[in-house]
Amino acid sequence: MERTLHFTRTEFGARLASVKREMVSRGIDLLLVSEPPNLNYLTGYDAYSFYTPQLAIVALDRPEPVFITRFMDSVSAKMTTYLADDNIRSFPDAYVNSPTHSAYTYMADIVKECGGERATIGVEMGGFYYSVRAHSDLVNALPHARFVDADLLVNWIRLVKSPAEVAFMRQAGQIGDAMIRRAVETAEPGVRECDLAAAIYHQQISGTPEFGGNYSSAALHFGAGERALAPHPTWTDKPLAPSTTIYIEVHGNRLRYQINMARTIILGTPTPSYLKLADIVVDALNAGLESVRPGQTCSDVHQAFTKALAPHGLEKEGRLGYPIGIGYPPSVGERTANLRKGDETVLQPGMCFHMMPGLWLDDVSIAITQPFVVTEAGHEPLTSTPRSLIVK
């Protein structure tokens, strides 16, 4: 069976080695990886199967992880990972959505095979796909093991992207640019919101003439008129009004690497006060971006943005940004560093963020954002869409 790998075996080996070093520093013998982005990062695995139990077992004394999934999804594992066939295991369908059989009990026997019966085992306690029942079943099936929280262990390692990963982030950015262009071309008074959303989604999957896109980790954020006052709305089937504000946040995804980018589109003529607000937000966004460089902290970047915004009597309550990279539902955010006050994470080349200086005030909102990668000299925008209000 032909295998499709998007990174070299050397790169996968380096990722695994970094994880094992962190395991040693924490006294962890086995790491059970359940989060889809982390499974993808360590093995290359990619299939829409995370709604059923799946784990990768990383053992210090084994050269490869052991990946366990539903029996029918083992085919995808053989197609998308570098793992030897005997390191791809599967559980029978009797364990899927069963009120009496737990897939984690089945997995526990494989954990024992990997030396986990009396080991210190790290699990992703804060993961979206590691439930209370999953943990309970594993603990009951491995009574002599010691379980410790290893949430975000892999996530922090993922925070610094390799050159090969950044290349995919750039391609995701080009898809995001195409999605914004399609939105602007399609938005007209009388066009139904759902039809505008459909055009944007078509572009997301179609990608560019050079390469295609994929499904994203989140729904398109889309709010028109009063619904633009909400940060995470979705579309309706109402026609766009002759004069209205449209807020969209698109998610360009290339081989699971994803960028987020938001823009505000005005149909009609914006008021002078709104034009001024747009200029203020863009100036503050640019101030934040200009402060980005290796050695600065996330808090430093937030401070630069806040300093530029404050003279206008404005403040942003939410975080200014978050790290982006491998995107699987329900979130692209890596749950690690944040561009916010008090986050002392030091910026390094290869870190990718979505700087999101959106303001949702009582009666007005505006969102003009920028995904970027930290470079040796400062930052590189991952998209080329102008940072400005779009008036049509």
Number of domains in the chain: 2
Contact 240, 267 (CB under 8 A): yes
Instruction: Please check whether residues 243 and 305 belong to one and the same domain.
Output: yes
Instruction: Please check whether residues 212 and 284 belong to one and the same domain.
Output: yes
Instruction: Please check whether residues 218 and 330 belong to one and the same domain.
Output: yes
Instruction: Please check whether residues 303 and 384 belong to one and the same domain.
Output: yes
Which of 108, 140, 158 is a domain's end point?
158
Give a yes or no: residue 1 inside a domain: no
Res 79 pLDDT > 80: yes
pLDDT tens for residues 351-382?
999 999 999 988 999 999 999 999 999 999 99
Position 211 scores a pLDDT of 98
> What average pLDDT score do residues 182-203 get?
98
Which of 158, 189, 210 is a domain's end point?
158
Give a yes or no: residue 341 inside a domain: yes
Give a yes or no: residue 81 inside a domain: yes
Give a yes or no: residue 4 inside a domain: no
Which of 127, 158, 189 is a domain's end point?
158
Q: In what order do the strands lie in the sheet with 352-355?
A: 321-323, 352-355, 370-374, 379-381
* Helix (H) or strand (E) segment spanning residue 244: strand 244-254
CATH of the domain at 77: 3.40.350.10
One-letter amino acid at 301 equals V
Position 50 scores a pLDDT of 95
CATH of the domain at 250: 3.90.230.10
Res 1 pLDDT > 80: no
269-301 per-residue burial string, b: 16 or more CB within 10 A, e: under 16: ebeeebeebbebbbebbbbbbebbbbebbbbbb
Residues with Cβ within 8 Å of 57's Cβ and at least 6 positions away in sequence, in order, are 30, 31, 32, 33, 65, 66, 67, 68, 110, 111, 114, 116
Instruction: Please check whether residues 274 and 290 belong to one and the same domain.
Output: yes
Instruction: Please check whether residues 182 and 270 belong to one and the same domain.
Output: yes
Instruction: Please check whether residues 62 and 200 belong to one and the same domain.
Output: no
Instruction: Please check whether residues 262 and 387 belong to one and the same domain.
Output: yes
* Helix (H) or strand (E) segment spanning residue 385: none
Residues with Cβ within 8 Å of 226's Cβ and at least 6 positions away in sequence, in order, are none
> What average pLDDT score do residues 97-114 get?
95
Give the predicted TM-score (pTM) of the model: 0.96
Position 176 scores a pLDDT of 98
Residues spanned by the domain of 129 = 9-158
Give a yes or no: residue 267 inside a domain: yes
Position 217 scores a pLDDT of 96
Position 68 scores a pLDDT of 98
Instruction: Please check whether residues 330 and 191 belong to one and the same domain.
Output: yes
Query: What is the secondary structure of 98-115 as a DSSP string?
Result: -SS--HHHHHHHHHHHTT
Instruction: Please check whether residues 235 and 344 belong to one and the same domain.
Output: yes
Give a yes or no: residue 3 inside a domain: no
